Amino acid sequence: MQRRDFLKNSTIAATAAVVGVDRAALAAKPVARPLVKKSLKYGMVTEKLSVLDKFKLLKDLGFDGVELDSPNELDPKEVLEARDKTGLLLPGVVNSVHWKSPLSDADPKVRETCSKSMIKSLNDCKLYGGTTVLLVPGVVNAGTSYQDAYQRAQKEIIKLIPEAEKTGIKIALENVWNNFLISPVEAARFVDEINHPLVGWYFDVGNILRYGWPEHWIETLGKRIMKVDIKEFSRKKQQDEGLWKGFDVELMDGDCNWPVVNKALAKVGYSGWGSAEVPGGDRKRLQVISERMDAVFNAQ
């Protein structure tokens, strides 16, 4: 041991002895915890309760927030009253039209339907006190080519930016099984070409496991990540039982390496919401989800 190292270690040991602190704890560096607020989707609550009672239930189970679909049929006054009475936050909304009427569709009327719904979503989110609208940017299929989807989606999102600026709400694009933007480099480029601080990514951890590794996407998307969806996926179940059966696994029991994911999120500076998007249920089921999300959040 060099003299400099000896003196350094001796000083740590002496300090620990004086103040009664374990030497290893004194020398250890604090680990960042990127997922700090726990949310889920409103539709995961299946008990037949009022909005207020659903919010109370979620608050009791340790959730910090809940995301609603938008447009929706809920009474906004009832939603705001439930929020204010329980303290349960509404961090964002999920656009409810983007799959049925995608921005990539060849029909201008279909694209207009989605655009109008997004304007409603942006304003609903502002009313609720949230910060993001989750949007599936487009869908590639037999009738919509990759190139057309790319160009149409970008054009329509750019047209929505004035409304995003007016409301101050971010448009957060989600990676889903839509045959579109299926590499992290391309996903980052798509956002960079739009080049606006109110357009970024709502990163879904579980959706990536079918064809990649979440930590690789996080490394590439970096500061473009606005929020994170929490779900699992089992490649073995996919192989043995069928593609969609891959999702039929509890949080912490699939192929997502949560310590590595948390480390990657911390490295790119993410600190914020983690929202569960898994099969919901009654109080007992939601309690399980809450507890498993705690395990995900604390995985190191």
Check whether 3 has a pLDDT greater than 50: no
Per residue in 205-255, pLDDT (tens digit) is 999 999 899 999 999 999 999 999 999 999 999 999 999 999 999 999 999
Domain of residue 130: give its range.
Answer: 34-298
Structure confidence by residue, pLDDT tens digits, 132-172 = 999 999 999 999 999 999 999 999 999 999 999 999 999 99
Show the tokens assigned to 52: 């207020």
E strand or H helix at 272, and its extent? strand 272-276
User: What's the CATH number where 111 sits?
Assistant: 3.20.20.150
pLDDT of residue 16: 40
| pTM attached to this predicted model | 0.89
- The answer to whether the beta carbons of residues 102 and 110 sit under 8 Å apart is yes
Residue 151 resides in a domain: yes
For residue 36, which amino acid is it? V
Is there a contact between 35 and 265 (Cβ–Cβ < 8 Å)? yes
Pairwise CA distance, residues 71 & 69, whole Å:
6
* 184 preceded by a cis bond (ω within 30 of 0): no
**Environment class of residue 2 by beta-carbon count within 10 Å: exposed (0-12), middle (13-18) or buried (19+)?**
exposed
In this predicted structure, what is the pLDDT of residue 31? 59
Residue 241 is assigned to a structural domain of this protein: yes
Please list the alpha-helical segments (H only) found in the chain.
Answer: 3-19, 23-27, 51-60, 76-86, 108-128, 146-167, 184-194, 205-208, 214-221, 235-241, 258-267, 283-298
How many domains is the chain built from?
Answer: 1
In a domain, 207, yes or no: yes
Residue 223 in domain = yes
119-134 per-position pLDDT tens digit? 999 999 999 999 999 9
Give the residue with greater pLDDT, 3 vs 250.
Answer: 250
Residue 28 scores a pLDDT above 70: no
Would you say residue 12 lies in a domain? no
Residue 9 located in a structural domain: no
Per residue in 261-298, pLDDT (tens digit) is 999 999 999 999 999 999 999 999 999 999 999 999 99
Residue 13 domain-assigned?
no
pLDDT score, position 32 = 74
Residue 212 Cα distances to 67, 74, 158, 255, angstroms: 27, 37, 29, 11
Helix/strand/coil for 300: coil
